[in-house]
């Protein structure tokens, strides 16, 4: 789930309090002596009321109230303005007020400046990264908005002479040209296909994929389903939300035919669906997350959390390491991609997993991913098919091939080993 601007500001206030506390306590002790806490908190609590020094409200209020007597010697007027501004931001946040993107950028920028002023560089860097991430979100939305506006602008100007008729450029389907087109046959019917009825365009897997253009969205849906059914990630529930005629039934038919037992070689355009790219994944705070280009030598001595040995993904990763003559430092391995992501988030190590398995966390800012310069890591996915009395052709062909090559396979180790 993507972070809201209010969530970002709440996290920023936590980091601000964490960075301010050592500075505030050090200055108060230096200026007020042994009774620094009682003196500093005279206006901050009622009788017998305890104070939480991790509360950004307490720290900002003490900074403001004790400015002349304590903090004016180490901070300047611009920092005092930042304190005043952040007191207002904290009050808005505490009263559940909403923040625009620009409000969020300004608040995070002020937090970053104040933290730098008190030499809390690590916390300032984290807040600065949050600000940059928010700016990217804003810029992406502005870009998409401009693209939408341009796509709706009417084409102006006069058409050139000598252009061919659209009928010559885009030839209608023979059924349409001959007048045999029927509206009822155009609408897909999943139940009818299940019964083995209807036209070949919908009933026969090969014909269906030959006439289907695999858009990016449909391709992602098929990849996610293949991942889920093979236990390598994928969403357990997918909501198909489109207007009437948007392709919901067509998408379900594509899934039905993909897992019908028909060999992938007989489904035009499906082969790339059964391959997916593996990307480097790390925590957003990891040093590699801030590099513009990651090359293989950057991975030397990095701790890795990897899939268990013997898996398809692990073989692809090990082949890459072998080509680059890198001996990875594997801190742990598991077959569960969710466990891998959790370990990466807490910075136990970095990993290499399919992008579809981490897309949601990357969009939410919980993980960062990158390609390795000059390297393309892909793995093939598999699929399951319904149990039936007849083996699918793909299984038959695989058995035939194994019967041919099995005598030449060396299945036992040498006696000397």
Q: State the pLDDT at residue 177.
A: 75
pLDDT at 337 over 50: yes
Dist CA 278 CA 189 (whole Å) = 36
Q: State the pLDDT at residue 413.
A: 35
Please, are residues 328 and 321 in contact by the beta-carbon 8 Å criterion?
yes
Dist CA 276 CA 290 (whole Å) = 25
Name the nearest CA neighbour of 217 among 198, 240, 197.
Answer: 240
pLDDT at 236 over 90: no
Token couple for 361: 């966390």
pLDDT in tens, 86-100: 999 999 999 988 888
The average confidence (pLDDT) of the chain is: 79
Q: Is 338 exposed, middle or buried (0-12, 13-18, 19+ CB in 10 A)?
A: exposed
Token couple for 253: 């038919």
When pLDDT is averaged across residues 123-143 and rounded to a whole number, the result is 89
Q: State the pLDDT at residue 4.
A: 87
When pLDDT is averaged across residues 60-67 and rounded to a whole number, the result is 88
Of the pLDDT bands very low, low, confident and very high (cuts 50, 70, 90), residue 171 is confident
Give 59 or 413, the one with higher predicted confidence: 59
Q: State the pLDDT at residue 417.
A: 28
Give 345 or 269, the one with higher predicted confidence: 345
Q: Which of 103-112, 156-165, 278-287 has the lowest mean pLDDT?
A: 156-165
pLDDT at 113 over 90: yes
Give 99 or 265, the one with higher predicted confidence: 99
Please, are residues 247 and 218 in contact by the beta-carbon 8 Å criterion?
yes
pLDDT in tens, 47-58: 455 678 888 988
Report the share of the chain in percent with pLDDT over 70.
79
Sign, Cα dihedral of 117, 118, 122, 123 = negative
Each domain of the chain, given as residue ranges in start order, spans: 5-144, 174-272, 274-380
pLDDT at 160 over 70: no
Q: Which CATH superfamily is domain 274-380 in?
A: Periplasmic binding protein-like II (3.40.190.10)
When pLDDT is averaged across residues 36-61 and rounded to a whole number, the result is 74
Please, are residues 310 and 334 in contact by the beta-carbon 8 Å criterion?
no
Of the pLDDT bands very low, low, confident and very high (cuts 50, 70, 90), residue 405 is low
pLDDT at 159 over 70: no
Token couple for 291: 């590099």
In 56-180, where does DSSP find H-type helix? 56-65, 77-94, 101-117, 121-151, 166-169, 174-178
3-state secondary structure of 231: coil
Q: Which of 210-214, 273-277, 389-393, 413-417 has the lowest mean pLDDT?
A: 413-417
Give 233 or 338, the one with higher predicted confidence: 338
When pLDDT is averaged across residues 11-24 and rounded to a whole number, the result is 92
**Of 167-176, 215-224, 282-291, 380-389, highest mean pLDDT:** 282-291
Describe the crossing of helices 56-65 and 77-94 by its angle, rounded to 10 degrees: 140
pLDDT at 271 over 70: no
Dist CA 328 CA 337 (whole Å) = 19
Token couple for 397: 């062909």
Of the pLDDT bands very low, low, confident and very high (cuts 50, 70, 90), residue 144 is confident
């Amino acid at each position: 789930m993507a972070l809201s601007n209010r969530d970002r500001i709440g996290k920023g206030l936590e980091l601000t309090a964490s960075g301010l506390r050592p500075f505030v306590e050090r200055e108060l002790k230096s200026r007020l002596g042994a009774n620094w806490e009682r003196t500093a908190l005279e206006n901050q609590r009622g009788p017998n009321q305890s104070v939480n020094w991790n509360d950004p409200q307490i720290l900002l209020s003490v900074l403001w109230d004790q400015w002349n007597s304590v903090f004016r010697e180490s901070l300047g007027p611009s920092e005092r303005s930042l304190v005043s501004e952040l007191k207002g931001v904290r009050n808005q946040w505490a009263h559940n007020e909403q923040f625009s993107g620009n409000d969020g950028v300004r608040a995070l920028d002020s937090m970053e400046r104040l933290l730098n002023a008190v030499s809390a560089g690590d916390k300032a860097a984290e807040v600065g990264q949050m600000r940059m991430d928010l700016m990217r979100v804003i810029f992406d939305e502005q870009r998409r908005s401009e693209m939408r506006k341009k796509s709706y602008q009417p084409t102006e100007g006069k058409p050139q002479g000598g252009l061919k008729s659209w009928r010559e450029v885009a030839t209608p389907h023979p059924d349409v040209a001959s007048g045999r087109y029927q509206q009822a046959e155009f609408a897909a019917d999943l139940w009818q296909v299940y019964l083995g009825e209807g036209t070949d365009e919908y009933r026969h897997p090969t014909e269906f994929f030959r006439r289907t253009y695999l858009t990016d969205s449909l391709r992602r849906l098929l990849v996610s389903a293949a991942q889920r059914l093979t236990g390598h990630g994928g969403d357990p529930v997918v909501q198909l939300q489109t207007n009437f005629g948007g392709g919901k039934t067509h998408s379900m038919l594509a899934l039905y035919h993909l897992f019908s037992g028909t060999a992938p070689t007989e489904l035009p355009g499906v082969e790339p669906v059964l391959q997916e790219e593996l990307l480097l994944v790390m925590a957003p705070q990891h040093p590699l997350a801030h590099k513009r280009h990651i090359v293989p030598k950057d991975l030397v001595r990095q701790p890795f959390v990897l899939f268990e040995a013997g898996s398809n993904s692990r073989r692809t990763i090990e082949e890459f390491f072998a080509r680059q003559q890198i001996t990875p430092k594997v801190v742990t391995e598991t077959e569960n991609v969710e466990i891998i992501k959790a370990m990466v988030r807490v910075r136990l190590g970095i990993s290499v997993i399919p992008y579809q398995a981490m897309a949601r966390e990357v969009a939410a800012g919980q993980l960062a991913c990158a390609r390795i310069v000059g390297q393309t890591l892909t793995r093939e996915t598999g699929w399951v098919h319904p149990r039936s009395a007849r083996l699918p052709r793909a299984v038959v062909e695989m058995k035939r091939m194994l019967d041919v090559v099995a005598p030449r396979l060396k299945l036992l180790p040498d006696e000397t080993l």
